[in-house]
Amino acid sequence: MADTGKVDQPYTPPPLWYKDAIVYQIHVRTFYDSNGDGVGDFQGLIQKLDYIQNLGVTAIWLLPFYPSPLKDDGYDISDYNSIHPSYGTLDDFRAFLQEAHRRGLHVITEAVVNHTSDQHPWFQESRSSKDNPRRNWYVWSDTDDRYRGVRIIFVDTELSNWSWDPVSKAYYWHRFFSHQPDLNFDNPEVCEAVWNILKFWMEMGVDGMRLDAVPYLVEREGTSCENLPETHEILKFLRKRVDEYFPNRMLLAEANQWPSDVRPYFGEGDECHMAFHFPLMPRMFMGIQLEDRKPIVDILQQTPAIPDMCQWAIFLRNHDELTLEMVTDEERDYMYDSYAKDSSMRINVGIRRRLAPLLDNDRRKIELMNGLLMSLSGTPIVYYGDEIGMGDNIYLGDRKGVRTPMQWSGGWTGGFSLADPERLYSPVVSNIMYCPQAVNVISEQRSAHSLLSWMKLLIRTRRKVKAFGSGTTEFLHPENHRVLAYVRKLGSETILVVNNLSASAQAVEIDLRKFRGAIPVEMSGGSIFPRIGELPYLLTLGPYQFFWFRLRRI
Ligand code: GLC
């Protein structure tokens, strides 16, 4: 398929920008309301770009901001080429993009293309009659027994992947909510339409796009309808077009799968540039709960190598539940038991809580987890509000509890909006530990010891190390399994990372003979540690403490 459409290419980001990026994930709706209507908007986001730049991150990932009935917070899109009116206009988006780029911040937006909203004109046409030219844009069936055995993702709300459409008197296929019919990627017109969505936003200048729910594009009888070869063909087609028209832009796969099934989404460097590492995330939480490095090391050792220009996206929390799809049944029970005793904390196959409450608001655990996020292999993503230790509201329903207004200051609306608190799109977190009076940006900016100040230091330190983004990772195997140690290396740069995953002080002896003669320099304060010799290197660490050492050869 050759595309003949002209492309206006105003801008090219630097090659491989995503490999050294630090991403900040934001929902426009939740960040800052500039016009007092109770809903965050692009003008508000523009006003907060200095904050984001000052945090030290290098890229912003925005959740869907397109016209939508908002039954899945915007993942149900009814128009791909516009902006939801409550967030602003296309001109506001352009202004945001320009202001972000001016500050050196790359922008990643969402391509939710597995499905549309049932309010999208494509679906309205498709359902209108069996001979409508768009009939074949969705997956229709006279019966609901095709693709039997395919798992249901939103198990708390959906009983089947098929829903009956009373208008056209047939069933349509959907992997998510029943108001999100799946597009039919067997239809080349759909593939072209999806390319046009990517082209529209890339022409405007977005640096990368997250491909939502990418394993589910194609359906085949007798399979799980996930990760099919035909799905990979479509990704190769889209990637080819992107490379042709928009060099250095990035595609990020949301494939919540085991590492061996995610690996093909990178192809031979001809599918997605990046993919989330879903199975790693729960294992980091398991690691500190068990006080044992095994879950983390095991999953990373099972992770296949990826092409040089590709990169993993790693994260602690995001806008969804802490998913437990990529763990064993036993591990899931352990996670629920450790992190979600109250059933209101659970949703679908996961846990709907934010980072700080998950970690008992224990500053040492929060620091350790962020330390792992910033030093393990991959591009780290920080979820908005987690840099100040925001809390959640598990009683809000669906995943709304982790999408409450950003807390800028100590007022009733947390400084998010000038509207009355009742008018906000969501209540602000109001419990005594995490309410805006207890947790907010302004007060954390005043203290050099706040979590926010500490996060800035961590991010700045990470940015000094090229090896964290692009280097190799070698796990070390000290006898003390409560300690997780690894070496990140790129060219002559060698970084030793040592983490105490336990709640008690630990001593550890590490075999560092191959670095004999080097001097470890602790990176947060620049202190010199004893030169590495022949004997096992002895370190002591306080509860949940971690060190990053630059190994200096003299
Ligand atoms: C992705 C999104 C999630 C959304 C779903 C359906 O998994 O992360 O928020 O509900 O897709 O679009």
Which atom of ligand 1 is found nearest the CA of 256? Answer: 7
Q: Evaluate if residue 51 carries a pLDDT over 90.
A: yes
Distance of CA 378 to CAs 23, 368, 382, 451, Å?
Answer: 11, 17, 13, 23
CB 181 within 8 A of CB 138: yes
| pTM, entire model | 0.97
Sign of CA dihedral 379, 385, 390, 393: negative
CA of 508 to the centre of ligand 1 (A): 42
pLDDT recorded at residue 554: 74
d(CA 373, CA 210): 20
CA of 207 to the centre of ligand 1 (A): 21
Residue 9 has pLDDT above 70, yes or no: no
Q: Does the pLDDT at position 4 exceed 60?
A: no
| pLDDT score at 545 | 98
Active-site annotation holder among 254, 367, 386, 392: 254
Q: How confident is the model at residue 11 (pLDDT cuts 50, 70, 90)?
A: confident
Task: Answer yes or no: is pLDDT of 438 > 60.
Answer: yes
pLDDT tens-digit series, residues 451-470: 999 999 999 999 999 999 99
Distance CA 404, CA 402 (A): 6
Alpha carbon of 320 to ligand 1 centroid (Å): 7
Instruction: Tell me the three-class secondary structure of 40-99, residue by residue.
Output: CCHHHHHHCHHHHHHHCCCEEEECCCCCCCCCCCCCCCCCCCCCCCCCCCHHHHHHHHHH
Mean pLDDT value across residues 258-278: 98
Please tell me the predicted confidence (pLDDT) of residue 1: 46
Q: Identify whether 254 is a catalytic site residue.
A: yes
DSSP SS3 for 223: coil
Task: Please name the residue ranges forming H helices in 272-328.
Answer: 280-290, 294-301
Taking the centre of ligand 1 as the mean of its atom positions, its distance from the CA of residue 444, in whole angstroms, is 32
Q: Which helix (H) or strand (E) holds 311?
A: strand 311-315
Dihedral angle computed from the Cα positions of residues 211, 213, 218 and 219, in that order, rounded to the nearest 10 degrees: 180
User: CB of 112 closer than 6 A to ligand 1?
Assistant: yes
Distance CA 72, CA 69 (A): 8
Q: What are phi and psi of 9, to 5 degrees?
A: -115, 90
- Whether 142 shows a pLDDT value over 80: the answer reads yes
Backbone angles phi, psi at 153, to 5 degrees: -85, -50
pLDDT in tens, 357-392: 999 999 999 999 999 999 999 999 999 999 999 999
> Can you tell me which atom of ligand 1 is nearest the CA of 399?
9
Determine the pLDDT at residue 155. 95
Residue with tokens 């350790």: 368
**Rounded distance from Cα 212 to ligand 1 centre (Å):** 7
Q: Which atom of ligand 1 sits closest to the CA of residue 112?
A: 12
pLDDT of residue 8: 66
Residue in 115, 226, 320 to alter for ligand 1 test, most ligand atoms within 8 A of Cβ: 320
Q: CB of 138 closer than 6 A to ligand 1?
A: no
The pLDDT tens digits for 206-235 are: 999 999 999 999 999 999 999 999 999 999
C-alpha distances in Å from residue 263, one per residue of 75, 300, 470:
25, 13, 17
- Per-residue pLDDT of 319-355, as tens digits, reads 999 999 999 999 999 999 999 999 999 999 999 999 9
Measured from the CB, is residue 75 less than 6 Å from ligand 1? yes
Q: Is 320 in the pocket of ligand 1 (CB under 6 A)?
A: yes
Q: What is the DSSP letter of 164?
A: E
For the residues 15-30, what does the mean pLDDT come to? 98
Query: What tokens does 489 get?
Result: 């290396």
For CA atoms 401, 405, 406, 411, give the dihedral sign. negative
Answer whether 465 contacts ligand 1 (Cβ < 6 A).
Answer: no
pLDDT above 90: percentage of residues in the chain: 98
Give me the catalytic one of 92, 212, 226, 321. 212
> Rounded to whole angstroms, how far apart are CA atoms 372 and 458?
11
pLDDT band at 254 (very low <50, low <70, confident <90, very high): very high
pLDDT in the model for residue 5: 61
What is the SS3 assignment for 99-154? HHHHCCCEEEEEECCCECCCCCHHHHHHHHCCCCCCHHHECEECCCCCCCCCCCCC
What average pLDDT is seen over the chain? 97
Please state, in angstroms and rounded to a whole number, the distance separating the CA atoms of residues 184 and 138: 5
- Write the CA distances from 314 to 83, 353, 380, 455, 497, integer angstroms: 28, 18, 5, 17, 17
Q: DSSP alpha helices (H): ranges in 158-279?
A: 188-204, 229-245, 259-262
- Ligand 1 atom at minimum distance from 175 CA: 6
Concerning whether 91 is annotated as a catalytic residue, the answer is no
Which residues partner with 548 through β-bridges? 497
Percentage of residues of the chain with pLDDT beyond 70: 98
212 Cβ closer than 6 Å to some ligand 1 atom = yes
- For the CA of 318, the closest atom of ligand 1 is 8
Q: What is the pLDDT of residue 350?
A: 98
Residue 493, pLDDT > 80, answer yes
Q: Is the CB of 176 under 6 A from ligand 1?
A: yes
Beta carbon of 242 within 6 Å of any ligand 1 atom = no
